[in-house]
Chains A and B, each alone.
Chain A
Amino acid sequence: MPKTIVCDGNEAAAWGACLARPDMVSVYPITPQSSLAEHLTEFIAEGKLCADLMDVEGEHSVLSVLQGACLAGARTFTATCGQGLAFMFEPYFRTPNLRLPIVMAIVTRDGITPQTVWGGQQDAMTVKEAGWIQMYVETNQEILDTIIMAYRVAEHPDVMLPVNVCFDGTYLSYGIEAVSIPDQEIIDEFLGEKNVNWHVALDPERPMAVDPLTGGGSAKGTSMFVRYRKGHCKAMQRALEVIEEVHTEYGKKMGRFYGPLIEEYRMEDADYAIMTIGSMTGAGREAVDIAREQGKKVGLLKVKTFRPFPVEAIHRSLAKVKALGVVDRSVNYGWGTGPLYQEVLAATYFLEKRIPAISFIGGLSGSDLTVENHFRRVVEVTERACRGEVPSQTIWLNEDDDKGEK
């Protein structure tokens, strides 16, 4: 029987990892991920999780040892964020191109500087082009479920890519909710036998050089390089289908369904939509409910899979609406907007009719995105955009939070 516990997001993530039975775990503590690392080590000490724990000197080594473990055939797990992710970047960049199905939680933290230890998605968004799959989740239950599903996606033979399960630091990492812990047997059956190094390995029985110099002075080398790049892109596109299949199968087994790529909320007859990513979605849903009570035809689109970007799914949902407000929890410095907004703009190029879209940025450095003060505004501004009143600038939702404070 599944049991229900009350826990924060970091513990839910540790439970998800535990149920997936990794052979090796390596973690280096960093706020707001630290208690996740502590829970994992606790599970290993208690014998709940039979994994080798690698206590290494920093995040660069964390991911490097997991690459070695994965090449030797192990299922692996880690978690980091913020500056830890920055320090990890060198092996991070290498992981997807080695096609290693490592699962890593990013307990998203805003970007330094100014010095911050609070939530914000700047860390994960900054590494979006490194070739990992990235899924952003809304609740603690979704953290647990998505970490388990992430292994199925990562280890699918057509995919073989690492997956980040991104959840909001502060809000989800420390926020406490009821979480249902599935039975181990069901998860074992769902995940099946792992086979993570059939294509590249550190194995005396299969002698090979891993990651030799490729490209450079010969057409043979550069063509090979292009082939690997194209293969990676092909696997990313295939991952869109695999993510949907895995969510459907998991839903049938567990009775919990999440929008695998994007999730529509009250979109059936919506004239306009707001778009969210991560834990802010809860407040967004409530704001939509309130607006609906007032007769406003607004819906919500929650983006779960951000890498690969679900262009077609977004295209389908947006075909119905006359305006869109996109709320980001991070900044795209190149455009002075949110990064999700920028991606959505590119996707709307494929729509028959251009729709006005507005970029909202909020929730930076742990600031709260509330129903009343922030999402009400998102809904109102987007509604006005339907009538042609489209703001030309990004709207910074928490800019005036200090007005009225003494």
Chain B
Amino acid sequence: MFDASKIPDDYCAIAVDFFDMQVGDWRAKRPVVLRSKCVKCGTCWAFCPTQCIIEKPKWFEANLKICKGCGICSQECPNHAIAMVEEQEG
């Protein structure tokens, strides 16, 4: 088993401790797909920088664990089917 404590601590910066924060944990706005408008063209899927758009039977939506709330999908959607909604506390 690899033991990082055997490496001198003054050589170079490495990190071996992991934390479970997800990209989605610092999102300020969430994309909400209006199913009535979504024609499943896949534009959001193609543009999403974190590749978090998942395919549903008749629409696409974002995996909110990964979505960082950048709003690119909303900006690019040709049918204006994605609204960016403020995240609320709690």
Q: Are B8 and A212 in contact (CB under 8 A)?
A: no
A292 CB contacts on chain B under 8 angstroms = none
Cβ-based interface call for A391 (8 A): no
Q: Are B12 and A98 in contact (CB under 8 A)?
A: yes
- Minimum Cβ distance to chain A for residue B18 (Å): 8
Once bound together, how far apart are the Cα atoms of A209 and B14, in whole Å? Answer: 5
B 1-43 to A, binary, CB cutoff 8 A, 1 in contact else 0: 0101001111111111000000000000000000000000000
**Which A-chain residue is minimally distant from B16 (CB atoms)?**
A208
Q: Are A212 and B11 in contact (CB under 8 A)?
A: no
- Minimum Cβ distance to chain A for residue B22 (Å): 16
- Minimum Cβ distance to chain A for residue B9 (Å): 7
What is the total number of residues of chain A having a CB less than 8 Å from a CB of chain B? 22
Q: Are B10 and A199 in contact (CB under 8 A)?
A: no
Secondary structure at chain A's binding surface: helix, strand, loop or mixed?
Answer: loop
Q: Are A199 and B13 in contact (CB under 8 A)?
A: no
Once bound together, how far apart are the Cα atoms of A207 and B16, in whole Å? Answer: 7
A199 CB contacts on chain B under 8 angstroms = 7-8, 11-12, 14
Cβ-based interface call for A231 (8 A): yes
What is the total number of residues of chain B having a CB less than 8 Å from a CB of chain A? 12
Number of A-B contacts defined by CB within 8 Å:
49
Q: Are B10 and A230 in contact (CB under 8 A)?
A: yes
Q: Are B14 and A228 in contact (CB under 8 A)?
A: no
Cβ-based interface call for A193 (8 A): no
Once bound together, how far apart are the Cα atoms of A205 and B4, in whole Å? Answer: 12
Query: Contacts A206-B2, A208-B4 known; A231 to B11 CB distance under 8 Å?
Result: yes
**Which A-chain residue is minimally distant from B3 (CB atoms)?**
A206
A 202-243 to B, binary, CB cutoff 8 A, 1 in contact else 0: 000111111110100000000010011011001000000000
Query: Contacts A227-B9, A230-B10 known; A212 to B15 CB distance under 8 Å?
Result: yes
Q: Are B7 and A231 in contact (CB under 8 A)?
A: no
Once bound together, how far apart are the Cα atoms of A27 and B66, in whole Å? Answer: 39
Q: Are B14 and A210 in contact (CB under 8 A)?
A: yes
B16 CB contacts on chain A under 8 angstroms = 207-209
**A304-328 at interface with B (beta carbon < 8 Å):** none
B2 CB contacts on chain A under 8 angstroms = 205-207
Q: Which single member of A205, A207, A228, A230 contacts B12 (CB below 8 Å)?
A: A228
Once bound together, how far apart are the Cα atoms of A169 and B11, in whole Å? Answer: 34
Cβ-based interface call for A97 (8 A): yes
Q: A199-B14, A200-B7, A214-B13 are in contact. List 16 more A-B contacts (CB 8 A).
A: A98-B12, A160-B11, A198-B7, A199-B7, A199-B12, A200-B11, A205-B2, A206-B2, A211-B14, A224-B13, A227-B10, A228-B10, A228-B12, A228-B13, A231-B10, A231-B11
Give the 10 A-B CB pairs with smallest separation, nearest first. A231-B10, A209-B15, A212-B15, A206-B2, A99-B12, A208-B14, A214-B13, A199-B11, A227-B10, A208-B16
Residues on A lying within 8 angstroms of B by beta carbon are 97-99, 160, 198-200, 205-212, 214, 224, 227-228, 230-231, 234
Residues on B lying within 8 angstroms of A by beta carbon are 2, 4, 7-16
